[in-house]
Every structure is written in C-alpha cells, then in structure tokens.
Amino acid sequence: MERKEWPLWEVFVRSRNGLDHKHCGSVHAPDAKLALQVARDVYTRRQEGVSIWVVPADHIVASDPDAKPELFDPAEDKIYRHPTFYQLPDEVNHM
C-alpha cells in the first residue's frame, strides 16, 4: 500500500498582542484547518501564544545557503548604514 506523508506546515506563533508572529517549528497535517489545530496542540500547550499562522512549507521561498558570501558578506564593512552617526537635536534625542 502506498503511504504518503502529509504535507509539512511551518508554524508561527504570536506570544502576546503587540508582538510579531515568530517561527517556532513545523507540523505535518493533511490540510490547513487541521494544521492550525495540531499547531495549537503541539506549540501552545503551555500558553505560548494568542495567535497562530501556518504556512505550507513549500510556499516559503528561501535564500540559498551556498549564496551566503554574495548575499550577506558585502554588508560587513558598511558600518555607515547603521543610524548611529547622526547628532540628533535634544528635543528628539530619545528616538
């Protein structure tokens, strides 16, 4: 008999109102509705969240790990891109 794996879903949980959804893991489930339910059962048993997103794992487009040098290394010596060199007027200095 053919045994097919259920599709994989990536799970994102918002831990509190006002915070972002954060990736916390993945689940296998046959469809979107059950993916939400099993994500609830697997990842929010200890009150970890107030909202869940699930995304089919194959809908996530990821950068190529082998492309790290050309993607990320060039930013290494561009320290001027950090907004820490500006002298702010006193009135707005707590921005």
Partner 1 sequence: MTRQTNSPEHIEYVLRLGDNALILGQRMSEWCGHAPVLEEDMALANMSLDLIGQARMLLTHAGKLEGSGRDEDQLAFLRTEPNYRNLTICELPNADFGRTMMRNFLFASFQVLLWERLTASADGELAAIAAKSLKEARYHAQHAGDWVIRLGDGTAESHARTQGALDYLWTYTAEFFAATPGDDAVAAAGVGPAWSSLEAAWEAAVVPVLHEAMLTVPARTPFRSYGKFGRHSEHLGHLLAEMQILQRTYPGAQW
- In the complex, what is the shortest distance from the CB of residue 91 to partner 1, in angstroms, rounded to a whole number? 50
The amino acid at 82: H
Angle in degrees, CA 25, 73, 67, rounded to 5: 60
- In the complex, what is the shortest distance from the CB of residue 42 to partner 1, in angstroms, rounded to a whole number? 5
Cβ count near 29 (within 10 Å): 20
Distance of alpha carbon 9 from alpha carbon 29, whole angstroms: 7
Interaction site with partner 1 (CB under 8 A): 6, 27-31, 33-34, 37-38, 41-42, 45
- In the complex, what is the shortest distance from the CB of residue 40 to partner 1, in angstroms, rounded to a whole number? 8
